[in-house]
Amino acid sequence: MLSAVTSGAVYGIRSRMIQVEVDVSHGLPCFQIVGLPGSAVREARERVKVALKNVGVKIPPMCINVNLSPADLPKSGTMFDLPVAVGIMIALSQIPQQAVRDTLLLGELGLSGELKPVKGVLPIVQEAARHGIRRCVLPAENAWEGALTGTIESVGVANLKEAAAYLLGEKACGNVEDKPEAFDFDAAVRRETEGSRLDFSDINGQESLKRAAEVAAAGFHHLLLVGPPGSGKTMLARRIPSILPPLSLEESLEVSAVYSVSGLLQETRALKTQRPYLNPHHTITGQALAGGGRVPAPGIISLAHRGVLFLDELSEFRRETLDILRQPLEDKQVQIARSSGTYVYPADFMLVGAMNPCPCGHYPDPARCRCTPYEVKRYLGRISGPLLDRMDICVEAQPVEFQDIAEHRAQESSAQIRERVMAARERQRARYEDCTFRFNGDMSAGEVDRFCLLGEREKRFMEKVYGRMRLSARGYHRILRVARTIADLADSEQIKEIHLAEAACYRQAGGKYWQA
């Protein structure tokens, strides 16, 4: 008898519906799986046979053929165990075919018949909803994840026997978990925001750094902090997520899908409601940063999607590792090509870098710096020009003054700064409503000409700046993008000379160490 069960698989961040077709017929006893199965999928034969035996299902000595359709797509992982087992039970007439109509099945089987959690449930369930699937039967640990979309009935079961009982309508049998309670997204966002222990009010002094962070957060500009050790660069960078607007539900689902594919969403047992903040060590490999493997998994830059990627001690990273960032910073995604296909992961993040200006960290202070000009040049040269070119804001961190530490003056809180950032982003949302981008930091050269119009006085000012700082065309457009954000923070539709002057200062700070 022939049976068909709907399942799914993830390819990068995208998902595909997979039909698990099972045929049980007379002939030489065999159990084979076709449809480009990976090694973990092929091993499902043994797991399914033993699991069925241990839950009381006797498999007769017949020929069992399983096809995973479409057959030209490679299949990997252990999520096909449950649909294969249910397909065999349908083919043996123990479960009617009608019982799995409009139903998605996913799950890994243990030898005792228990169901174990799998990765990538959220994007698969989202794709199933688009195909009209009405319910999904999942391992109990994944049931909350399947319910996050709010459009599909999510049923969690502990083992194969409970799954069969549920499909047969015997709900009183076993401990079948009904659909988890609806997730209160707004309440979760409030808890995350109010429960954060990191706040800008903890930072004494360093007003220029805090202002630069506010501008970067408002326009989603990439930020580079340069200064001596102990000047507060890392302390400030760790608090940048606290001044970013909360994730919207759409953004939260995007981020949660990446973490689901990585198998990290199971640790939170909730939708991701806090913007990601990733701070990898400088010894990280290129594959860990961008993602990869035989079946490519998301890397650090994809896990930082819609959040902050902070690279501390930037000049200590390998140059070839840092240069991997160049393409994702432009395209907002990572493409990883393998013989099995091309996998695409999102990578729309805010890059924040922090570094010392020389090996000892005290350049250009002649009283403390003992580095030779060659050592300083070689140290700064570890950051390639193309990567520096993508940093819209470069700000110098000065040593903290004694008065700032001793006087304990009241400092502005993250909530106060976040209000201004959200107001500036709302102006950008209204301005770019009909555009393909959302933030000032994403504008191309042509879009800068359209949205960053200057008056005659401002044009004369930029003419002087262009000549004095020896700017390139890209550097000129970068100043205008940052100035547009500064104007938005000042609630000004017109970019004024004072906004251009502040933006030029952020460019000049980088020119102090690198040639503009």
Give the pLDDT of residue 172.
42
Task: Tell me the C-alpha distance between 157 and 149, whole Å.
Answer: 19
Distance of CA 161 to CAs 3, 77, 420, 436, 440, Å? 19, 22, 56, 50, 55
Task: Tell me the C-alpha distance between 76 and 303, whole Å.
Answer: 21
- Together in a domain, 84 and 50: yes
In a domain, 208, yes or no: yes
pLDDT in tens, 374-417: 999 899 888 988 888 889 999 998 887 777 676 777 788 999 99
- Together in a domain, 150 and 218: no
Match 């000549």 to its residue by tokens. 467
Using alpha carbons, select from 147, 7, 146, 17 the residue that is nearest to residue 81: 7
Single out the residue in 108, 142, 167 at which a domain terminates.
167
Mean pLDDT of 301-310: 96
In a domain, 413, yes or no: no
Give the pLDDT of residue 269.
59
Mean pLDDT of 346-350: 94
- Close Cβ partners of 31 (under 8 Å, ≥ 6 residues apart): 45, 49, 64, 66
Mean pLDDT of 458-477: 90
- Together in a domain, 332 and 458: no
Mean pLDDT of 17-22: 96
- Together in a domain, 283 and 394: yes
Task: Tell me the C-alpha distance between 238 and 497, whole Å.
Answer: 32
In a domain, 112, yes or no: yes
- Together in a domain, 104 and 6: yes
pLDDT confidence of 447, banded at 50, 70, 90?
A: very high
- Together in a domain, 124 and 204: no
- Close Cβ partners of 251 (under 8 Å, ≥ 6 residues apart): 306
Structurally, the chain folds into a number of domains equal to: 3
pLDDT confidence of 174, banded at 50, 70, 90?
A: very low
- Together in a domain, 214 and 79: no
Q: Find which of 69-83, 160-174, 290-304, 325-339 is predicted with most confidence, using mean pLDDT.
A: 69-83
Q: Is residue 170 pLDDT above 80, yes or no?
A: no
Q: Is residue 7 pLDDT above 90, yes or no?
A: yes
- Together in a domain, 38 and 64: yes
In a domain, 422, yes or no: no
Mean pLDDT of 298-326: 94
Secondary structure letter of residue 454 according to DSSP: -
Q: Is residue 189 pLDDT above 80, yes or no?
A: no
Give the pLDDT of residue 510.
67
Q: Find which of 13-17, 83-87, 196-200, 387-391 is predicted with most confidence, using mean pLDDT.
A: 83-87
**What is the pairing mode between strands 135-139 and 153-157?**
parallel
In a domain, 416, yes or no: no
- Together in a domain, 163 and 189: no
Q: Structure tokens of 212?
A: 């630069």
Single out the residue in 400, 427, 451 at which a domain terminates.
400
Q: Which residue has the higher pLDDT, 145 or 514?
A: 145
Q: Are 79 and 48 in contact (CB under 8 A)?
A: no
Q: Which of 58-72, 186-200, 208-222 has the lowest mean pLDDT?
A: 186-200
- Together in a domain, 21 and 61: yes
Mean pLDDT of 220-242: 92
Among positive and negative, which fits the CA dihedral 471, 473, 479, 482?
negative
Single out the residue in 135, 167, 199 at which a domain terminates.
167
Q: Is residue 140 pLDDT above 80, yes or no?
A: yes
Distance of CA 156 to CAs 126, 135, 465, Å? 17, 11, 63
Task: Tell me the C-alpha distance between 432 and 286, whole Å.
Answer: 34
Q: What is the DSSP string of 168-214?
A: TT-TTSS--B-PPPPP-HHHHHHHHHHH----GGG--S-HHHHHHHH
Give the pLDDT of residue 183.
60
Give the pLDDT of residue 504.
92
CATH number at residue 326: 3.40.50.300
In a domain, 178, yes or no: no
- Together in a domain, 481 and 356: no
The four Cα atoms 101, 103, 108, 111 give a dihedral, to 10 degrees, of: -40
pLDDT confidence of 198, banded at 50, 70, 90?
A: confident
The overall average pLDDT reported for the chain is 89
Task: Tell me the C-alpha distance between 33 and 75, whole Å.
Answer: 11
Give the pLDDT of residue 483.
96
In a domain, 510, yes or no: yes
Give the pLDDT of residue 35.
93
Q: Structure tokens of 293?
A: 């493997």
Mean pLDDT of 209-233: 93
Domain residues for 479? Answer: 437-516
Give the pLDDT of residue 181.
52
Mean pLDDT of 448-474: 91
Give the pLDDT of residue 266.
63
- Together in a domain, 133 and 215: no
pTM: 0.88
Give the pLDDT of residue 267.
53
In a domain, 412, yes or no: no
